[in-house]
């Protein structure tokens, strides 16, 4: 299971790195995420401090954190 969660987390990270901030529902479609794997991957990235989760009026929005953005610039 760890490998599948890691692959999903990697896909999420790459899409946020390419597209910037996205609504959770849009991100899930882009990743073609399936529950609960997608949810676990989001949790993993959040716990590691790689993403920022913000509640908008009607949606949840995600973006890479500053530390994760610096990693992207170095790669």
pLDDT single digits (tens) 27-71: 999 999 999 999 999 999 999 999 999 998 999 999 999 866 555
Cα–Cα distance for residue pair 61/65, rounded to 1 Å: 12
What CATH number should be reported for the domain holding residue 15?
1.10.10.10
Contact 8, 41 (CB under 8 A): yes
20 pLDDT tier (thresholds 50, 70, 90):
very high
pLDDT single digits (tens) 4-17: 999 999 999 999 99
Contact 24, 31 (CB under 8 A): no
| pTM of the entire predicted model | 0.87
How many domains in the chain? 1
pLDDT of residue 71: 56
Per the structure, the complete domain to which residue 52 belongs is given by 2-74
- Per the rule left: phi > 0, alpha: psi between -120 and 50, beta: everything else, 49 is left
């Amino acid at each position: 299971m760890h490998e599948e969660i890691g692959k999903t987390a990697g896909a999420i990270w790459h899409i946020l790195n390419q597209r910037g901030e996205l609504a959770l529902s849009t991100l899930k479609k882009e990743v073609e995420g399936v529950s609960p794997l997608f949810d676990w991957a989001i949790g993993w990235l959040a716990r590691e401090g790689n993403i920022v989760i913000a509640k908008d009026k009607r949606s949840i929005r995600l973006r890479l954190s500053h530390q994760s953005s610096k990693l992207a610039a170095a790669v």
